[in-house]
Every structure is written in structure tokens, then in C-alpha cells.
Chain A
């Protein structure tokens, strides 16, 4: 493992495995992702996509191998690393009994932001929820919850954003807002997305990764992806029709 980290890369994954006993969730996953890229991860259920995301976002540690995100080791530098990563999940990750504003202010405090109140207002406006900021989250629709969740994940201005099936269950309006937000910050940020939506994933990404049974089946820069070949590989691994 080279100790020197390459400033070019957002992700440097070196033979990461995650096993427990006989069970292998990830098996020697190895790849690099340049900064500013958008990685879409595909694969059947149980392939290890969520596990990979968890390892990269410091929620779990690898059993073997090393990984660096923005030059920081996911195990040793996990605390400073967490300041730089954001996570958007299909779970809301919000407290239903607090208001939108209270939720965001809580997380702002966790990240020890400098001007928490202003930052919170700024984001509430950006996701068009400012008018509902005093309402309890339990009164929100699914789309509104997802928008607020997006706001939560961007509070601390992360450099790398992980998305775990972010579009699932969203109405078109919320999807548009998410798309818009991603577009607006596309330039300076790196994205890693797990999605079952092949079309959307391919459209947004600059790099694609297919996982199966914890192993990488395919990792390519989109420029070099042959549409048909990719679709064939995808179909054979994931077993779904190409939409």
C-alpha cells in the first residue's frame, strides 16, 4: 500500500474486504476515483453496494485492505473525514418530533458550524422549505422529507457526497429539486451513488461500477463504456431488464 496519497483522487480503494467468519460482503475491491467525478454503483441485492458505501462513509471498517477518501484514511482519520462527507439515504435520517429548523440546527451543532442559524436558513430556502420551517417533520410529505434530508446532508459543505438510493419513493417535483441541487454543486464535488435506476445512474455518472457478490465485475470511465456491452453485463449480473 503506497503511503503517499494522490491528490488527484477522491477515492483510493485498495483491496478492501469485509468478511466475518465465512461470509464475504466485500472481496478485494480495488479502484480509484478522480476528484469531481460521479460514480454510479450498480449490482444485484446483496452484492455489497451498501457495505461499500458504509465503508467509504466510515460507518463500518474494512476487515482487510485500506481506503482513502479525499486523502484521509477511513479508519485512522475517520473523525476529520466525517467533516468532509455528506450522506443522502432513502431513510430520512430526521427526527419526526422536531421541526425542520430544529432538525437542521441540531445537525449544525453536531458539525460545530460557525454560523449555524444562517446556514440553516440558507439551506431551507434552497430546498424550498423555508415556509414550513417551524412545522414538525412528522407532518411532511415524503418528497418534503427527502428535500429536508438533502439540506441536512449539505449543511457542512461536504466535498464528497454519498447517495444511497436517493430517488426511491420521490415524487417528480422532489426529483427535480434533487437533480437541480446536484447540478448546482456538481463542479466542486465528488459523488458516489448506489442506485437501482440504471438509466438515471448512467445519465448522471462519469464512472460506473458493477458489483456482484462483493467483487467488482466492471469499473469503467463512462467515455469508454460501450452501451450494449454494458447493458449486457448489467443484465447478466443484475438480472433485470434495461429500462
Chain B
């Protein structure tokens, strides 16, 4: 593990990135409010005049959430990729360190995917007024949450370390393959009861896009920091185990 990059230790880097990530995410959030104006003093049920068209405040709120929700959603998927990636690496090498990484990547995925689910639900609430709709995105996130939970349930039910790592790797690969397929299916096969709610991205103006991208990078940074911190924690634990084993032998 590299001790220093550009003269800064890993610790410093982690805190730097964490701060940067937090700032970027917050900026993104703030700009969401700045870009689409909210009428001060207006209630949720009220409307605002923007460009001569009356838009309900509800929609405006939901638009704000968009700036947080979509980056989180994409981030969770990106991190999930690493679950599968480290799983593949483990199967190829049988090296425990890949299994550890896969587990941690999945932990980070869990955090992000739950956030995705919550923000997605909030968005639905503001836009449709109901707390849950079985529309493609929400359903897929829900399934993804279940897949990640299943990953941990599987891990916890096996005592043998190597078997646990192998099974988790294989399941992780399937789970990662399953997520986009679920998404595609809920869009392609129309639900006869619930109409497919297609959210048009609409045009994103320059500043909006900037805010969006900032949020993405910020979140990915935070995800990376979480990953590394957790990894260090695991290594410390394993180190202790090694010392214990050596003492006994």
C-alpha cells in the first residue's frame, strides 16, 4: 500500500477527499435551490409563476431532489460494479483480500442504494402524492436493495471462510447482472395496471449540468473514502487475528 502520494500520506488524502466530496455534494444541493427558484413564503400547495407558467411548488421540490437522487442512484450502481469485479478477482486468485474488498464494496453499495430508495420515494411523494408506486425505477431499486441484503444474509449463514468467500463472489456477480436486467424488464414489459412513468430528462442547462456532475463526483469521492476507511478497519482486524494465530502456534 502506497505510503505517500505527492508527499501526502493516505490519511491526509482520505480527509481531503472526504471534505472535498462533502463540499461538492453540498454545493450541488445548494445550486439545486438556486437554479430553480422557489417562491419565498409560498406553501407546498401553492404555485409559482415561472416564465409565465404556473408550476406547482411540489414539482419544484421534486426537481431539487433530482439533483441528489440521480447521482446517488448512479453511484450506487457504480459501486455495485466493484462487488462483482472483486468477486471475479477472488474467483481467479482465491486471495482473501479480494473477498474483503468485495464485502466492503457491497457495504458501501448498501448505504447508497438505501439512500437511492429513500430519495426516490421522496421524489415520488412530491410528484405523485403517494408514498410508493411500483414504477420501473423504484421497483428496480427495491430489488437491488433486496439483492444486497441477500448478499449479506448469505455471507452470515456460512461459517467456513473460503466457502463463504466463494459463494459470496458468485452471488455478487449474479446480483450485479440482475440489476440492469430488472431495470430493462420493468420498462419494456408494460404493467397493465400501472402505466410506465417515463421521466423525461428534459434539457439540462449548463449550470444545472455542472451542479449535477459536481454532485456525482462528490458522492463518488465519499464512497471511495468510506471504502478505504472500512478497508483499513478490516485489515486492522485481520492483523490482530494473524498475531493471535502466531502466538498460539
Contact = CB atoms under 8 A, between A and B. Distances in A.
B10 interface: no
A213 B249 contact: yes
Contacts of A22: 238, 241-242, 245
Nearest to B248: A213
Contacts of A23: 161, 245
A21 B249 contact: no
Contacts of B241: 21-22
A113 B224 CA distance: 56
Contacts of B165: 20
Contacts of A21: 96, 161, 238, 241
A139 interface: no
A216 to B, nearest CB: 15
Contacts of A63: 94
Interface string A56-96: 00000101000000000000000000000000000000000
**Residue picked from A21, A61, A213, most chain B C-beta under 10 Å:** A21
Interface in B196-249: 238, 241-242, 245, 249
The main secondary structure of chain A at its interface with chain B is loop
A220 B241 CA distance: 35
A63 B238 CA distance: 19
Interface in A133-183: none
A20 B249 contact: no
A23 B249 CA distance: 11
A213 B246 CA distance: 12
Interface string A19-30: 011110000000
Contacts of B94: 20, 61, 63
A49 B229 CA distance: 39
A168 B242 CA distance: 35
Contact of B161 (A20, A61, A213): A20
Nearest to A18: B162
Nearest to B97: A21
Given A63-B94, A213-B249, A20 B162 contact: yes
Interface string B114-143: 000000000000000000000000000000
Contacts of A213: 249
Interface in A1-52: 20-23
Contacts of B238: 21-22
B241 to A, nearest CB: 5
Nearest to B242: A22
A66 to B, nearest CB: 15
**Residue picked from A22, A61, A63, A213, most chain B C-beta under 10 Å:** A22
A172 B162 CA distance: 39
A61 B162 CA distance: 12
A63 B93 CA distance: 9
Nearest to B246: A22
A101 B161 CA distance: 38
A61 B91 CA distance: 13
A61 B242 CA distance: 23
Contacts of A20: 94, 96, 161-162, 165
Contacts of B96: 20-21
A135 B125 CA distance: 67
B155 to A, nearest CB: 15
Interface of B: 94, 96, 161-162, 165, 238, 241-242, 245, 249
18 contacts: A20-B94, A20-B96, A20-B161, A20-B162, A20-B165, A21-B96, A21-B161, A21-B238, A21-B241, A22-B238, A22-B241, A22-B242, A22-B245, A23-B161, A23-B245, A61-B94, A63-B94, A213-B249
Task: Give the 4 A-B residue pairs with the shortest CB-CB distance, closest first.
Answer: A21-B96, A22-B242, A20-B162, A22-B241
